[in-house]
Structure 1
Amino acid sequence: MRYTELSTELAINEKMLREIFQDCSDIVFRTISISPKILLIYLDGLTDTKILDQVVLQPIIYDENPDGLNSVTKLRGIIQQQLVAISQVQTVSTVKDVADGVLKANITILVEGEDKALVADLKGFEKRGIEEPAAEVSVRGPRDGFTETLRINTSLIRRRIRSAELKMESITVGQYSQTDIVIAYIHGVVSNTVLEEVRNRIKQIQIDGVMESGFIEEFIEDVPWSPFPQIQNTERPDVVSASLLEGKVAIIVDNTPFVLIVPMNFWTGLQAVEDYYERSIYTTFIRFIRYSLVNMSLLLPSLYVALTTFHQQLIPTNLLISIANSREGVPFPTFVETLLMEFMFEGLREAGIRMPKAVGSAVSIVGALVIGQAAVQAGIVSAPVVIVVATTGIASFAIPRYNFGTAYRMLRFPMLIFAGLLGLYGIISGLFILIIHLLSLRSFGIPYMSPVAPQTLRSLKDVIIRAPRWSMNRRPAYLSGPNRTRIPEGQQPHPKRKRGDK
């Protein structure tokens, strides 16, 4: 695109801009034939033409203005003052700046005799309303969620953190899409090392277009081939705000409701929204159940295959006899039938997600019941395998975050193969490989298993258990910057303390 300076002749400016926007039928060139002549350029469908006509044009062409409109300088002043009252206005002097302003859904005003143009924010495109996030439903907590509009998303965060220390830096990424990206953090709370790393990785991205925050995620993650996500994504403004208060950095991308949060550790993927809105004793109890179900979703099919194939002596006699009777007539080994049922279960789950909401859940549930019952009656698989696979699927739904649950779904198959080849020794070997991988993984320089490895005692209050809010008075040491005090000490409630006592 040209960097030519604007001319004082309106016809020359119009000609240069028409060459740039050649064959762009949605670009409107609107001439106002008054003295001096005015040219308006905007995108049809993305500009609020009602405000343009009523608030901008009507005062300009009003022929009873007592001061008249003979002076170009005075006309620019009237336009600028009129627009400042309703929107952001900036003055540009090059053809490229004019074109960029138009493509970002702004309106550009050029006046005969002026070598500068006014770019005003009069966006008026259709926007989706604020709704409850469908993927992160909570029993208790706020019901608002991000939308596809960048400024609505930033305003939802500003509503929760009303501090001048909340900084939002803008970056444009994408040669053709020119997508606006905002890096949000709290000055003094964020680690400068992490913040600088985020800036550098985003600025190095060279891509033709960014359609969703997932495009950015793949460019800035540390280990692309790891099954575990190293960048958290969420639709909830409260989750983003809480993460910023911990010292993390949020990456807000235009045209998507999913905001990225970095860095991410292993334990974040196992924590639900309600963990921080319910009382600590309830949350700790639920976390123990959740962690048990998470381990079950990874190891239950493998343990069943290992015990029934290699280590029958570890199974109680009555249970072993029951399993043997149910397997009578089944043509496949335990490993093959378990692998087959796992594959079918994942297929049903994927089909239920892709189908319309009205029939998706019904098809997946009915399909599982019909196929499971028919397979058992036909003698293709045994009833214990159906029970194991169904229990594993239910346990996998306890993982709060979808992308983290997907990692466990993927790892279940390698663990099943290890168990089918080596029994319990294969499971132990697979767990060793998995633990070594997790210990070596990092997210923007932060160890993935922190604060457990390396261990930070103060930060363990929000890992396996969730300590009371008044006791978590320090931000995570591995995340935050200079300001690590979250809550002053000495706020533990005392039942016998009288009202007014300190």
Structure 2
Amino acid sequence: MKFSRKKAHANVLPVHDDAESPQLVQIEFLKASLQENIQHIKEVLGNSGDIVIREIRIGSERQLQAALFYTEGLVDTKSVHEYIMETLMSGIEFTGPNLLQDMKDCILTVGDIQEVSEFVTLFTSLLSGDVILLLDGYTQGFMIGMSGWESRSVSEPATESVVRGPRESFTENLQTNTALIRRKIKDPNLWLERKQIGRVTKTKVAVMYIHGIVNDKIVEEVHKRLDRIDMDGILESGYVEELIQDETYTPFPTIYNSERPDVIAAELLEGKIAILVDGTPFVLIVPALFISFFHSMEDYFQRADISSFIRILRFFGFLIALLGPSIYIAITTFHQEMLPTQLLIGLAAQREGVPFPAFIEAFMMEVAFEILREAGLRMPRTIGQAVSIVGTLVIGQAAVEAGIVSAAMVIVVSITAISGFVFPASNMSMATRMLRFPLMGLAASFGLFGIIIGVIGLVLHLCSLRSFGVPYMSPFAPIVVDDLKDTVFRFPHWAMSSRPKLISQKNLRRARNTSPKPDNRT
């Protein structure tokens, strides 16, 4: 925050406010006069109506003037009255050369209390939900933690539902989110480091990792990228994700996010780093691997064979969602000899009255379905789902009867759309939806050869990606045999005795590699 130069004795420090040239930013300190401090705070905040200023007189003879400042709606006013005002106005004698220290150590019955001497720090604390206490005749005051705004309670996750597992999710409150992770991992090596990002919003950001498991170089890289962020505001973790990701021009997400505390706790135990942003329930995890976007936390709550079967279904659904329309276009346009005769005759009969080639059919149906999906998400919940389902059925049936598209194309597009919902991570589903269109164009131009060219290009692109220095396609490229136990198949927990080597690189052993032996004695 910048202040104009008013006092000759105010300190002026060089701060790199702009990326190109340093400017002189005014750093003003508190004055000894309480009234001057009150007037300055009112001027800077524009006499805002939600800033409460309570002037009081304290001490047995009521001779010492003091003032409390807090933001209405961000502070627990009941605690302010009970623990601060009643204590100060109870008639205690406030004398002695070390009055501020005595108030901090012996008088004020609050836990979170810090000294403040600069207006910059004072305004940030005041607008973050703290109570400011200033005394007349002193150039220092107190910042007292009394945050108490309304927040959403811990509820069931909206985007990552499970049949078996915990039913709690993160909220928009940073303190609540860190506490949810602490409940899962009760280890002193779980470290938390706080930052403030955003020149205007001053958003609180927390970095959490398990010391002794995490790779220290990755932690250092995370801090470097976060410290390089210089913009007015951070309103959601998506801002941070876009600003710290390794590769910008890729449809694939290189940073994982989740709103489930158990997912974040499991990733921390793998040696990864969690980035929590105040004001959003979605927590970022780095580094991210391609395979992680196909894993669900429920995989670890079910038996290994059931989890492996479900994962195979997810990968099969990924192939259908990515290549379904492209393969249909390629076969019906260039490679009809691959189809059985009866099926070929049936498809030819359906397409007899269709005026468009298969590519135009698929393109129109895919665009129509994407529009209906977005409309269902943006409309009110009471009618959104009904409109999207009814709209899809009505438009599909009407298009077939009108002879615009064939019935087989409607079936292919429907199966493709349903397969796109098998991903536990929605951002991987979005990447698949985007890549479907260029693959359809390659199929319409070159047939199956175009699809093969597109898939090869995709694999090369995936192998070139990195997430905070870790290969995106590991443990497949480069191949790490021990880490393959938790990829397409999930081995039993007792068999996964080591952490991913390319992520942690220390304290790799997490379980004994001993199989449980059943006792057959009766």
Question: Normalization by structure 2: what TM-score?
Answer: 0.92
Task: Give the direction of change, closer, same or farther, for the CA distance of 1:82–1:407 in structure 2 (3 Å limit).
Answer: farther
Q: Does 1:5 align with 2:29?
A: yes
Q: Does 1:46 align with 2:46?
A: no
SS in 2 for 1:169: strand
C-alpha separation in 2, matches of 1:435 and 1:444: 19
Poorly superposed stretches of 4+, deviation over 6 Å: none
C-alpha separation in 2, matches of 1:127 and 1:35: 40
Q: Does 1:346 align with 2:370?
A: yes
Q: Does 1:171 align with 2:195?
A: yes
Q: Does 1:142 align with 2:173?
A: no
| Deviation, structure 1 residue 78 | 4.0
- Contact 2:104-2:113 at 8 Å conserved across structures: no
Q: Which residue of 2 aligns with 1:58?
A: 86
Q: Which residue of 1 aligns with 2:175?
A: 151
Q: Which residue of 2 aligns with 1:386?
A: 410
Of 298, 303, 310 in structure 1, the residue corresponding to residue 322 of structure 2 is 298
C-alpha separation in 1, matches of 2:47 and 2:451: 62
C-alpha separation in 2, matches of 1:112 and 1:479: 55
Q: Which residue of 1 aligns with 2:516?
A: 493
SS in 2 for 1:327: helix
C-alpha separation in 2, matches of 1:496 and 1:69: 73
Of 46, 54, 77 in structure 1, the residue corresponding to residue 102 of structure 2 is 77
- Contact 1:56-1:79 at 8 Å conserved across structures: no
- Contact 1:179-1:253 at 8 Å conserved across structures: yes
C-alpha separation in 2, matches of 1:274 and 1:16: 56
Q: Which residue of 2 aligns with 1:124?
A: 148
Q: Does 1:219 align with 2:243?
A: yes
SS in 1 for 2:403: coil
Q: Does 1:255 align with 2:279?
A: yes
- Contact 1:3-1:96 at 8 Å conserved across structures: yes
Name whichever of 164-173 and 89-98 sits farther off.
Answer: 89-98
Deviations 1:388-421 (A, max 9, x none): 1111111111111100000001111111000001
Task: Give the direction of change, closer, same or farther, for the CA distance of 1:156–1:258 in structure 2 (3 Å limit).
Answer: same
Q: Does 1:192 align with 2:192?
A: no
Q: Which residue of 2 aligns with 1:333?
A: 357
In structure 1, list runs of 5 or more residues that go unmatched: none
C-alpha separation in 2, matches of 1:59 and 1:435: 67
C-alpha separation in 1, matches of 2:122 and 2:326: 62
C-alpha separation in 2, matches of 1:75 and 1:435: 65
SS in 2 for 1:42: strand
| Deviation, structure 1 residue 300 | 1.1
C-alpha separation in 1, matches of 2:103 and 2:246: 52
1:358-377 alignment, distance < 5 Å? 358-377=382-401
Task: Give the direction of change, closer, same or farther, for the CA distance of 1:342–1:75 in structure 2 (3 Å limit).
Answer: closer
| Deviation, structure 1 residue 19 | 3.0
C-alpha separation in 1, matches of 2:213 and 2:101: 44
C-alpha separation in 1, matches of 2:121 and 2:105: 17
- Contact 1:107-1:119 at 8 Å conserved across structures: yes
For 1:250, the aligned partner's letter is: A
Count residues in correspondence.
Answer: 494
C-alpha separation in 2, matches of 1:288 and 1:406: 20
- Contact 1:91-1:118 at 8 Å conserved across structures: yes
Of 471, 476, 479 in structure 1, the residue corresponding to residue 503 of structure 2 is 479
SS in 1 for 2:462: helix
- Contact 1:111-1:117 at 8 Å conserved across structures: yes
- Contact 1:195-1:249 at 8 Å conserved across structures: yes
Q: RMSD value over aligned CA atoms?
A: 1.6
| Deviation, structure 1 residue 60 | 1.7
Q: Which residue of 2 aligns with 1:111?
A: 135
C-alpha separation in 1, matches of 2:439 and 2:325: 9
For 1:174, the aligned partner's letter is: G
Q: Percent same amino acid among aligned pairs?
A: 44
- Contact 2:496-2:513 at 8 Å conserved across structures: no
Q: Which residue of 2 aligns with 1:18?
A: 42
Task: Give the direction of change, closer, same or farther, for the CA distance of 1:36–1:497 in structure 2 (3 Å limit).
Answer: farther
- Contact 1:188-1:481 at 8 Å conserved across structures: no
Q: Does 1:356 align with 2:380?
A: yes
| Deviation, structure 1 residue 7 | 2.9
Q: Which residue of 1 aligns with 2:9?
A: none
C-alpha separation in 2, matches of 1:110 and 1:497: 74
